[in-house]
Structure 1
């Protein structure tokens, strides 16, 4: 793969950590890595925080934290063992010296033999419009092609709840939590007959609150 093609491929997907030499990729916690080829910047969730910085990719070589030579991070504290895992992950990113792409996998290599393997995940177009919605703490039975369970959504707090028959990509609601989300809305070309022509993907959780069940 040529360097322009490789650079484009790095930025075309989200990358979710699935394997880590000598470590266990944290179950239930998605460590997602993103590249911005236009600005030569990367960012990644860690365990409780995010790390970001410049990067340099040339051929199959890759240096994270390039440019100014450092990485910046948010500074939220979290309990052990998450904090120790977070430091180890940031250290692993700092030691990366090269990369390879194979199908839907990205493998980051370091001089000490440690590898980080990521699975590609769908990444919406940067130009896709954003919108805000509320998601109810309660789901409801509904019927699409077959009986299913639907989220309830609305755009304003004063609106009535409406059933939402499709998924919201990257959104994993917890029971009893009401959310306000910023979502990315895209049109789907030639959707299947039983699927929506609109795709929603989570952009950001704006706020969330615990809702007591109705008695």
Structure 2
């Protein structure tokens, strides 16, 4: 009888201990999932730059559809990605097929060796949101990538895509102060890809296009991401313009 009473006393504590362990496991799992979600959110909020010793950095971008892309001096690479525990899982990498300089091809080869179909241990340090770092271990070597906030993160919104024709000739203008302005015309494309000019006349462009380099020897049509600035300060434009890519480039001689 004493043993029965003893068993009756011990059983509730045993069940409580099991329940406690189960709760702890569920709690650990919830923390792990949350950590993975936070890591994924941080990865997609930045472009990650790796100094490979080449002229230009290798740039890694994580997209919300679980695709990643890598810009090299030559070709662009891409594949799938996912976070599993403390590993960054990447799928088979596909690449564009341009022929490039030996330096560029070497950088592209390195990108493939790092990201092609791997489970990569990684460490994400985002204590400084202006300068986070992503450390990836691949092939027994550590690579430290430095984060640069994407425009979508910086301006807290999605961009409007705008096409601008850029004249080779610039002109003096006065905004807040005297400056040199680009001359632009907005361009639109229909569903068949045919181009139409929104503006027949050139207009002065008082803003800056981040990442765009003007050439006095070229007429260009460029694709631009235009972001609305939520709370512009006095004399600040309500838009920020980010260069995306050159759609057309035409060499010209002389001025307009």
After TM superposition, list the pairs within 5 Å mapping 1:120-131 onto structure 2.
Answer: 120-124=148-152, 127-131=158-162
- Structure 1 segment 144-183 matched on structure 2, within 5 A: 144-156=175-187, 157=197, 159-183=200-224
Residues 84-133 of structure 1: CA deviation (Å, up to 9, x unaligned): 22212332334643241332323231142231312313333774321211
**Separation in 2, partners of 1:60, 1:144:** 51
Q: Which has the larger radius of gyration?
A: 2
What secondary structure sits across from 1:100 in the alignment?
Answer: strand
How far has the Cα of 1:12 moved from its partner?
A: 1.7
Counterpart-to-counterpart distance in 2, 1:126 and 1:188: 9
**Residue 73 of structure 2: SS of its match in structure 1?**
coil
TM-score (norm 2): 0.70
CA-to-aligned-CA distance 1:143-199 (integer Å, 9 cap, x gap) = 222222222111145622211111112323344222112222221111111210012
- Alignment coverage as a number of residue pairs: 204
- State the 1:46 CA deviation: 1.4
CA contact (8 A) 2:169 2:255 kept: no
So what's the TM-score if we normalise by structure 1? 0.82
Name 1:83's counterpart in structure 2. 105
Mapping 1:49-128, distance limit 5 Å: 49-64=75-90, 66=91, 70-94=92-116, 96-102=120-126, 103=128, 104-111=131-138, 112-124=140-152, 127-128=158-159
Partner residue of 2:164? 133
Aligned to 1:16: 49
Shift in Å, 1:41: 0.8
Change over 3 Å in CA distance of 1:59–1:172 after alignment to 2: farther
Cα 1:170–1:122 change in 2 (3 A) is: farther
Unaligned runs of 5+ in 2: 1-33, 188-196
Is the strand fraction higher in 1 or 2?
1
Question: Would the alpha carbon gap of residues 108 and 178 (structure 1) be closer, same or farther in structure 2, given more than 3 Å must change?
Answer: farther
CA–CA separation in structure 2 for the residues paired with 1:191 and 1:214 = 35
Structure with more relative contact order (C-alpha pairs < 8 Å, separation 6 or more): 1
SS of match in other structure, 1:171? coil
With over 3 angstroms needed to count, the CA separation of the structure-2 counterparts of 1:90 and 1:141, relative to structure 1, is farther
Residues 43-66 of structure 1, C-alpha deviations (whole Å, 9 max, x = no match): 1111211100001213442123x2
